[in-house]
Amino acid sequence: STTMEALATDELASFDLDFMGLEISAVTVDGIAAAFSRDRQELTITPSAPIAADANFTVSVAYSGTPEPNQDQALFLAGTSNGWLAWGEKIVGAANQPDGAMNWIPSNNHPSDKATFTFRITVDDPNVAVASGILQEVIAVDNDTNTYIWAMDAPMATQIATVMVGEFERVESVAPNGVPIRNYFLPGTDQADIDAFDPTGEMMVYLEELLGPYPYEAYGVMVIPDYIADSALETQSLSTFDDFGAEAIPEVTVMHELFHQWYGNTLTVADWGDLWLHEGFARYSEVLWYEHTGRLDDANALLTAAYEGQLHTALAPEEYAG
């Protein structure tokens, strides 16, 4: 189930949330049963009485089932899935960007409408539930079941919210600026993949010099085998990485996702069409990191590769679209 606290900016005889696939058993507004209907992902809720302008209200949606993968229609992601998915045989969880959150949580699924989140996830041992934010409590339900409560107290867009469930092991450290770092790996993760995140503290100090204080209570990463191939996602305060197969996790990708915590997560575009700004500046941070660490040849090579890649895309768009 999902419970959402909201503010009516106008009088509402009804309102819409984004939610697809899963079977809804009940909807309430301020504890009173509400009528609802759904057209594809558009969930329309009609409370028993109109909600006054400027009034706070609470809506709860009870639902069940197995999430259906959301097929992304963006050009460069055409044919891929997002939302709540299985990652191999050992992990399930969310990769929402850009609009996949609606396959597992009812919400206003738009980058301009951020919210604070509390996640309550009940799992069987030996699984662990990991989510955006700070772990508040682990409650034993019975001898082999636990409920993990995570809270993200800073506003967060749905596209970068996440929950992952698997047999994770937690590795803790503290950055030079005092920010706690907690990384999550499966047992047997290659040591090279664990060590790939050693520069995180130094990167954070450098980015604070450029962008100001780190915006969240803690940072960390999850490494997910069988994640989006050779990719990563700036899930808020807890970035998600593929293991990059036989290749090492690139240092510049570690920088890229950390940079997003400022630019993309805290400072966020108002509409989907401008998401390239998130990625463009994060890509530029890779060049800045190479320059900061004295690797000018690598910085120039990265700039050249980015330019030639975009030029190829412009000249052969049919290849880019798959």
pLDDT, tens digit (0-9, with 9 covering 90-100), for 158-209: 999 999 999 999 999 999 999 999 999 999 999 999 999 999 999 999 999 9
Average pLDDT for the chain: 93
* Cβ(169)–Cβ(184) below 8 Å: yes
Q: What does the pLDDT read at residue 247?
A: 87
What architecture (CATH level 2) is domain 1-65? Sandwich (2.60)
What architecture (CATH level 2) is domain 171-296? Orthogonal Bundle (1.10)
pLDDT, tens digit (0-9, with 9 covering 90-100), for 295-307: 999 999 999 988 8
pLDDT, tens digit (0-9, with 9 covering 90-100), for 223-244: 999 898 889 999 999 999 999 9
pLDDT, tens digit (0-9, with 9 covering 90-100), for 33-43: 999 999 999 99
* Cβ(44)–Cβ(37) below 8 Å: yes
Domain ranges of the chain: 1-65, 171-296
Q: What does the pLDDT read at residue 192?
A: 95
Q: Compute the distance between CA of residue 92 and CA of residue 212 in angstroms, rounded to an integer.
A: 34
Q: What share of the chain is helix, strand, coil (3-state, %, to 5)?
A: 25, 35, 40
pLDDT, tens digit (0-9, with 9 covering 90-100), for 77-133: 555 678 899 998 899 999 999 899 999 999 999 999 999 999 999 999 999 999 999
pTM: predicted TM-score of the whole model, two decimal places: 0.93
* Cβ(104)–Cβ(83) below 8 Å: yes
Terminal CA-to-CA distance of the chain, rounded, Å?
37
H runs (alpha helix) in the chain? 191-195, 200-211, 251-260, 275-292, 296-315, 317-320
